[in-house]
Structure 1
Amino acid sequence: MSMKLLDGERALVTGCGGGIGRGIARALKAEGATVLGSDIVAPPAEDGIDFLAADLVEADGWRVLLDGALQRLGSISLFVHAASPRRQEVDTPLNVNEQVWDAMLGVNLRSAFFLAREIGRHMRDGGIRGRMLMVTSQHRLMPRNLPHYSAAKAGMTMAMKELARVLAPHGIRVNAIAPGAIPGGGFVAGNLDELVAQIPLGRAGTPDDVAQVAVAILSERFGRYVVGTTVEVDGGLGLASWIPARA
């Protein structure tokens, strides 16, 4: 008898090209799920995760991805949205341009919401007691000199809560996870040592730190009564962090 947490589940994970998304995809697979990963370009295939390329900046990118995912998987019981465009230090409140703003909100908010909504309908109509997880950020609450990113993650958080309210009565759980300083993702801090010095646990995080919490939330063994909430995975950074404003 298998003791894996996610045996028989079918998962779609966006942002699977690397970093947190890739870490979560690997962890879901290790716990028995069939995993389809997606990103704008294919990652190395060394871990055997099936992959489907999709550009979620494009207006119809989420539809293309969803159609392809349902063809590959047949049904979806787990959905993780980890996709996000890369962030740059120069994209401060007085400098960020419309194209960068639209791309960030297009992936983090527009595509996240419509993918989750349609997957929620798929789960409801198919009688699937599914689970969904949005990868947000501490900066949904705290400015980060990246207004498009902070606004997108704040919007994603509220979209998650709205979906959680209407889908929970159908046995579908929607939650979010908020990573702290995880080097190797879409953003590299200008001075990582300075940032780590603020973390009470005394180290930066890893994709696996986030992935293990994601597995717990998505599993019915540990997360079955968790709905509409955001779990911080930050080593305590949110307790002490302060980021000076930049023009």
Structure 2
Amino acid sequence: MAAPLTEAAIEKVRALIRGGHLEPGQRLPAEAALSAQLGVSRSSLREAVRALATAGVLDVRRGDGTFVTSLSPEQLFTGIGEAVDLMRDESLLELMECRRVVEPQVTALAATRATSADLADIQRHLELMESATDEQDLIAHDADFHAAVAAASGNAALAAILRGISGVTLRARVWRALTEDGSTQRTIAEHAAIHAAVRDGDAPRAAAAALLHVANVEDWMRTTIGTEPPRDA
């Protein structure tokens, strides 16, 4: 948690943005002028700017100044994925419950909203996954496949949330276990079922296919996490 003076500075900058005094893409006033305007010290303002940059609210461009970002979901939800990668094992099952709630609905939306370009992108990532021979390639194409499905939902906020809670580290652990267990082809087939349902515009089937896929990953986690040594062992 930031120090009280920094927290106050953060809230004052946020208030300027909420009130429309700072618009997306707008450059912030010089540090001395802004600190005087807000009634905070320059050191507190600098700490506030760092915190808001980490949160995706501000963009610090060396030699050019500090700007308000686009404030898009992609920007503002960037911290979710970083937080997920730091979660301990006991929290990961709760995370999978979140994914089980969100992903089927996002996939159902994709089935009703996907454009021909979206479908081509989803199919391309599926084909790359099917032809992958390297574990790292599988992980990358899996992430791209789900990101393409989420983008096809037409809801940038949901897509950003889903991308965050999917977790790069967790995804790598799952694929490593699937590869060792010989379950790679079964899992790829689950992705193919998702693609087919989205392509056919069948929202209930798309939601069911996504739910089955997430549930299978969750089942693996429930039987595996308890038997693994601590992550830092």
Normalising by the residue count of structure 2, what TM-score does the alignment of the two structures yield? 0.24
| Larger strand proportion of the pair | 1
Work out which of the two has the higher radius of gyration on C-alpha atoms and give 1 or 2. 2
| Larger helix proportion of the pair | 2
